[in-house]
Amino acid sequence: MAAAAMSDDAMGKALWDAAEAGNTGEVTRLLKAGAPVNWSNVYRQTPLMRAATFGHVESIQVLLDRGADLEAKDKRCQTSLGVAAYNGRAEAVAVLLDRGADLETKDKGGRTAFLLAAVDGSVEAVTMLLDHGADLEAKDNAGKSAIDLSKAEHFKALVPQILGTMRRDPPCYPALACKLLTVNPTLQRALSACPGGR
């Protein structure tokens, strides 16, 4: 007796699990078998979001090639770009940006992908987002900037990158530069280390 066909829900869940695991072969097989590419769980997280969360670039590309919604939002209103940025998955961030992800989409807290990347101090993700034109002065719903959101232990690594961007891309954001330098006077040395020097 032949096995019963999987329901759309079961196939969607299997696709979600394969995307989370980065099993690109299984992702491809399930999509060819008709799995719903934009299936989501109770948190409205899609397979693309799960692949982005863990930085599974090949799975991301396969899902996008098969029509995954780049701008789908989970219950926190985060997109695949937002979850990739928050988890410091710079390669995933690059792929999603290259495929047209909206750089300035905000989650429920008003955080853009740039602000989400700053929370965990991912220099690579922050760099990627800044290089694609992220708003350096973006603030969340509580009025907090990337510097405010960055955890103390990550702050020193982010400062040279952010200051370097401020110095090479007009306008120079003097208000943010002053804030950076007054948070900790020793950060003045970071400014000297930025591209172009002082």
Compute CA 186 distance to the chain's CA centroid, rounded to the nearest angstrom: 30
Which residue type is seen at 14?
A
Among left, alpha and beta (phi > 0; psi -120 to 50; other), residue 22 is left
pLDDT (tens digit, 9 = 90+) per residue, 27-86?
Answer: 999 999 999 999 999 999 999 999 999 999 999 999 999 999 999 999 999 999 999 999
Beta strands, E only, the chain = none
N-to-C CA span, the chain: 76
Share of the chain above pLDDT 90, in %: 58
Whose structure tokens read 């370097």? 164
Domains and CATH numbers, the chain: 7-69 (1.25.40.20)
In this prediction, residue 122 carries a pLDDT of 80
Residues in the chain: 198
In this prediction, residue 198 carries a pLDDT of 41
